[in-house]
Amino acid sequence: MSSALENLLQENRSFPPDPAFVRAANAQPGIHEQAEEDWKGYWLDQAVNRLSWFEAPQQTLDDTNAPFYRWFTDGVINLSYNCLDRHLDSSAEKVAYHWIGEPGETRTLTYRDLYREVCRFANALRSLGLKKGDTAALYMGMVPELPVAMLACARIGVIHSAVFGGFSAEALIDRINDAESTVVITQDFAWRAGKEVPLKANTDNAVARTPSVKNVIVLRRTGSEVAMTEGRDIWWDELVADQSDECEPERLMAEDPLYILYTSGTTGKPKGIVHTQGGYLTQVATSHSQVFDHKPDEDIYWCAADIGWVTGHSYIVYGPLTNRATSIIYEGAPNFPDFDRLWKIIEDYKVTILYTAPTAIRSFMKWGEEYPGRHDLSSLRLLGSVGEPINPEAWMWYQRVIGGERCPVVDTWWQTETGAIMISPLPGITSTKPGSATRPLPGLSADVVDETGASVPLGGGGFLVIDRPWPAMARTIHGDPDRFVETYWSRFPGRYFPGDGAKRDEDGYFWLLGRVDDIMLVSGHNISTTEVESALVSHPAVAEAAVVGRKDDLTGQAIAAFVTLRGQVEGDETLLRELREHVGSTIGPIAKPKSIVFTNDLPKTRSGKIMRRLLRDISENRQLGDVTTLANEAVVEEIAEMAASTSSEE
Ligand code: 7RM
C-alpha cells in the first residue's frame, strides 16, 4: 500500500451485552486490563489452571531464538489425557459428541466411549510400528473416527497431518510427501450431498506416488466396495478388534509437535503449519471458554466447520474436549436433503452455541428465512462467525433470524497460523458492532500499521500486525523455517504479519478488511474489497458479492464486481445501475464498480473463502490460475462466460 487504506464504510450500530448474560459470563469485565498487567503471567495461569500437566511448567515465554518462540518449555503434558482421561471420574457418561450422519443415522459417544476408541486406535497405531515423532496423514470426512484418530496420534506423540476430505488426490500427494507421513488413515467413501466421495480410491491414486507410506487404514463408512492392497491396506475394524481398551499416554514436552496443517494461500506450494502441545492447548481451551462462554453442564455446542480445517482442530476437537463439552458433529451438506438441515439439528438437539462462517450465513440468507422459520431455534444463546470478514448485513441477519435478537454474535478473527482466536468480542464484556471483530482477547496485542511500520492513528486503516508472541502461535513451516521468517516476520521485523488489512475506529475496534493482496488501488486510493462488497451486500437484491481490482488505463485499477442475487431476483441493466449508485451513496463515488457481472455462484476455497485471484484473472482475460483447491471449479468457467457476455461498463 502506498498510502493509508481508505476508510469508507461507516457502521454506527452497536449492541451492548445483555445484563443477564453479563452476570453469568465466564469472562468478566476487567479481564483485559488484568491480563495486560502481566501478560506472560496471565498465560502461565491459564496453562496451569485450565490444563492437567504431568509436570506443570514454570517457564512462560522463551524468546531467545525469535521468531521461533517457545512457550512453557519445561512443562510435560499429554493432550489426549486432557481431552479424555481427566474427565472420566466426573463425566464418563457425559456425551462428548452427538454425531449425525448425512443419510440420517445417529451415534452418541460419551467421554468413556471416546476414551475407549482412542485407546484402542492408539494401540493399533503402535502395533503398526508408529512411534513418537512419526507423522500420520488423515484423509477423512466428518465421522467420529476423525477426532478418534487425531487424539490417538496425540496420545502416543504421533504428529497428525489432516488433509481435508474434499481435496483431490493431487493435493493429498503434496501433503503426504511434504510431511513424509508413513501411514494414511482414510475411509471407503464419505457422504456429501447424497453422493459418495471416493476417499479410498483417491488415496490409492495418491499413495502410488508417496514413497513414505507403508500402510493405509480404512474405515468402513458407506460400505460400498473398494479395492484393498494386500500387505498395505488394513480395515480399521479389523485392526482395533484385538486391541486393549487402555493405552498409557506418552509424556510429551510442551514444545513437542502436535500437528501439521497445510494452508494453501494464493501462491506457491502449501505451507505446512506446525503447532505444538502446551501453548496451543492453553490458548485454545481459554478462548473456547471465554469467547463462546461455554458452560460444560449446560451447553450443547456446535462448531459447524470441517474438522480437516483449523477451526475444526481447535474448536471441534481440542478446545471443546479439554473443556468437557457436549458437541454436535454433522457429516454432510447443509442443504441435504433440504435447506433446513442445520435448523432441524438445532431444534432436535437443543443446540445453545452455534459457530459458522460468513459464506454459510450468506447462503442461508440467499435460501431464505422460511427454512430457519420452520424450526424452533429458541435454545440458541450465542452465535459465532469465522473465516472471512462478515458483512454488516449478514451479521444483522444472523443476529435477527437465527439468534432471534437475543444472542450475542461473536465475530472471531484468527488463522491456521495463529492456532486460536485472536481478535473477538467477549460476550459478557464487549459491545458488538456488526462487521467488527472488536479487539484482541485478554493477553494478546495487535496493531494497525502503515508501510513503514508506524502505528496508524484510530480512524485509519493499514496492515494488521500481532505485536507480541502468543501461546498457540505457529512454530514454523514444516521443512522450511526460512519461509516462515520470510512470510510472517520480515515485513515488519519483530512483529507478526498475517497478511490482512484492517482499520480501527475511534473506539479502537478492529475492522478486518480482507487480504492485503486483494486491496485495490483506484486513482491513488487504496480501497479494501471488504468495504465495497459489504456495500453491495447491503442492497436488498444482493446475496453475495466479490470485487477485484483490474488493470485500467485511466485509473490504474478499476473495480470489477461479481454479484449473486437473493432468491428469485433477476439481474438486468436497471439493477446494475442501481447497484452502482447504491455503492456510490453508501461509501462514496470512488468505490463505484466499473463493471458488474451477475453470477449464480462465486469461486470459493474448500473452506468457503472467496478466491478473488481467479476473478482477477477473469477480469483481465488471463489464463486461469491454479484451481485445484477450489470448491466449485465449474463455476469459474461459468463466470468467465458470463463476464464475456453480460458485463456492463459505465
Ligand atoms: C480460522 C481461519 C485465515 C484468514 C485470515 C483472514 C480470514 C478468518 C476472519 C477473517 C475477517 C474474520 N483460518 N478470516 N476469520 N477475516 N474476519 N473473523 O479462517 O487460515 O483458513 O484463514 O481468513 O483473511 O487471514 S484460515
For the chain, give every domain's residue range. 16-78+252-449+464-494, 519-649
Cα–Cα distance for residue pair 606/517, rounded to 1 Å: 19
Which atom of ligand 1 is least distant from the CA of 498? 25
- β-strand partners of 500: 515
Cα–Cα distance for residue pair 460/457, rounded to 1 Å: 6
Cα–Cα distance for residue pair 139/166, rounded to 1 Å: 9
Q: pLDDT for 435-469, tens place per residue?
A: 999 999 999 999 999 999 999 999 999 999 999 99
496, 463 Cβ separation under 8 angstroms:
no
Nearest residue (CA) to ligand 1, atom 10: 388
CATH tag, 519-649: 3.30.300.30
Q: pLDDT for 32-42, tens place per residue?
A: 999 999 999 99
- The alpha carbon of 402 is separated from its chain's Cα centroid by a whole number of angstroms, namely 20
Nearest residue (CA) to ligand 1, atom 8: 387
Alpha helical stretches, state H, 392-528: 392-397, 481-484
Dump the DSSP string for 80-141: HHHHTGGGHHHHTTSEEEEEE-TTS-EEEEEHHHHHHHHHHHHHHHHHTT--TT-EEEEE--
Cα–Cα distance for residue pair 384/299, rounded to 1 Å: 14
| Per-residue pLDDT, 568 | 79
Q: Residue 387 Cα, ligand 1 centroid: separation in angstroms?
A: 4
Q: Quick check: helix, strand or coil at residue 384?
A: strand
Is the shortest distance between the CB of 311 and ligand 1 below 6 Å?
yes
Q: Residue 156 Cα, ligand 1 centroid: separation in angstroms?
A: 31
| Per-residue pLDDT, 519 | 94
Dump the DSSP string for 314-360: IIIIIHHHHTT--EEEE-S-TTSSSTTHHHHHHHHHT--EEEE-HHH
Cell match 485392526: residue?
239
Q: pLDDT for 76-106, tens place per residue?
A: 999 999 999 999 999 999 999 999 999 999 9
Q: Of 157, 166, 123, 122, which is closest to residue 259 (Cα–Cα)?
A: 157
Cα–Cα distance for residue pair 219/205, rounded to 1 Å: 17
Is the shortest distance between the CB of 359 and ligand 1 below 6 Å?
no
Q: What global pTM score does this model have?
A: 0.95
Q: Which CATH architecture has domain 16-78+252-449+464-494?
A: 3-Layer(aba) Sandwich (3.40)
Which atom of ligand 1 is least distant from the CA of 515? 24
Q: Residue 205 Cα, ligand 1 centroid: separation in angstroms?
A: 31
Is the shortest distance between the CB of 498 and ligand 1 below 6 Å?
yes
Is the shortest distance between the CB of 387 and ligand 1 below 6 Å?
yes
Type of residue found at 355 = Y
Q: Residue 240 Cα, ligand 1 centroid: separation in angstroms?
A: 38
| Per-residue pLDDT, 649 | 46
Which run of H or E residues covers position 551?
strand 542-552
Cα–Cα distance for residue pair 612/548, rounded to 1 Å: 6
CA atoms within 13 A on the CB side of 183: 29
Nearest residue (CA) to ligand 1, atom 6: 388
Q: Residue 384 Cα, ligand 1 centroid: separation in angstroms?
A: 13
Type of residue found at 470 = W
Q: Residue 607 Cα, ligand 1 centroid: separation in angstroms?
A: 10
Q: Residue 325 Cα, ligand 1 centroid: separation in angstroms?
A: 24
Mutate to test the pocket of ligand 1, among 464, 512, 610 (most ligand atoms within 8 A of CB): 512
Is the shortest distance between the CB of 135 and ligand 1 below 6 Å?
no
Torsion angles phi and psi, residue 479, rounded to 5: 75, 0
| Per-residue pLDDT, 268 | 72
Q: Residue 389 Cα, ligand 1 centroid: separation in angstroms?
A: 8
Nearest residue (CA) to ligand 1, atom 4: 415
Nearest residue (CA) to ligand 1, atom 23: 387
C-alpha cell at 531: 468495504
Please give the sequence-ordered ranges of beta strands (E in DSSP) within 176-245, or none if there are none: 183-187, 190-192, 195-197, 215-219, 233-235
Q: Residue 421 Cα, ligand 1 centroid: separation in angstroms?
A: 10
Q: Residue 115 Cα, ligand 1 centroid: separation in angstroms?
A: 32
Q: Residue 416 Cα, ligand 1 centroid: separation in angstroms?
A: 8
C-alpha cell at 626: 491454479
Cα–Cα distance for residue pair 605/627, rounded to 1 Å: 9
Q: Quick check: helix, strand or coil at residue 43?
A: helix
Is the shortest distance between the CB of 607 and ligand 1 below 6 Å?
yes
Number of H-type helices and E-type strands within the chain:
22, 31
Is the shortest distance between the CB of 270 and ligand 1 below 6 Å?
no
C-alpha cell at 102: 448425512
Q: Residue 611 Cα, ligand 1 centroid: separation in angstroms?
A: 13
C-alpha cell at 603: 469461486
Nearest residue (CA) to ligand 1, atom 7: 388
* Opening angle at CA 102, ends 370 and 378, nearest 5: 40
Which atom of ligand 1 is least distant from the CA of 607? 21
Which atom of ligand 1 is least distant from the CA of 413? 18
Mutate to test the pocket of ligand 1, among 383, 388, 611 (most ligand atoms within 8 A of CB): 388
CA-atom Rg of the chain in angstroms: 24
Is the shortest distance between the CB of 515 and ligand 1 below 6 Å?
yes
Q: Are strands 190-192 and 461-466 parallel, antiparallel or unpaired?
A: unpaired
Task: Count CB atoms within 10 A of the CB of residue 89.
Answer: 7
Q: Residue 189 Cα, ligand 1 centroid: separation in angstroms?
A: 29
Task: Count CB atoms within 10 A of the CB of residue 578.
Answer: 13
Mutate to test the pocket of ligand 1, among 609, 610, 629 (most ligand atoms within 8 A of CB): 609
Burial class (CB in 10 A: 0-12, 13-18, 19+), 648: middle
Nearest residue (CA) to ligand 1, atom 11: 389
Is the shortest distance between the CB of 437 and ligand 1 below 6 Å?
yes
As averages over each run of 10 residues, the pLDDT of the chain (650 residues) reads: 74 95 98 98 98 98 98 98 98 98 98 98 98 98 98 99 94 97 98 97 98 98 98 98 98 98 79 98 99 98 98 99 98 97 98 98 94 98 98 97 98 98 98 98 98 96 98 98 98 97 97 95 94 96 95 94 88 94 94 93 89 90 64 74 57
Q: Residue 413 Cα, ligand 1 centroid: separation in angstroms?
A: 6
Tell me whether domains 16-78+252-449+464-494 and 519-649 share a fold: no
| Per-residue pLDDT, 606 | 83
Q: Residue 311 Cα, ligand 1 centroid: separation in angstroms?
A: 10
DSSP one-letter code for 609: -
Is the shortest distance between the CB of 283 and ligand 1 below 6 Å?
no
Mutate to test the pocket of ligand 1, among 414, 423, 531 (most ligand atoms within 8 A of CB): 414
Cα–Cα distance for residue pair 143/83, rounded to 1 Å: 18
Is the shortest distance between the CB of 31 and ligand 1 below 6 Å?
no
Mutate to test the pocket of ligand 1, among 413, 418, 509, 607 (most ligand atoms within 8 A of CB): 413
- β-strand partners of 526: 5, 521
Torsion angles phi and psi, residue 244, rounded to 5: -70, 155
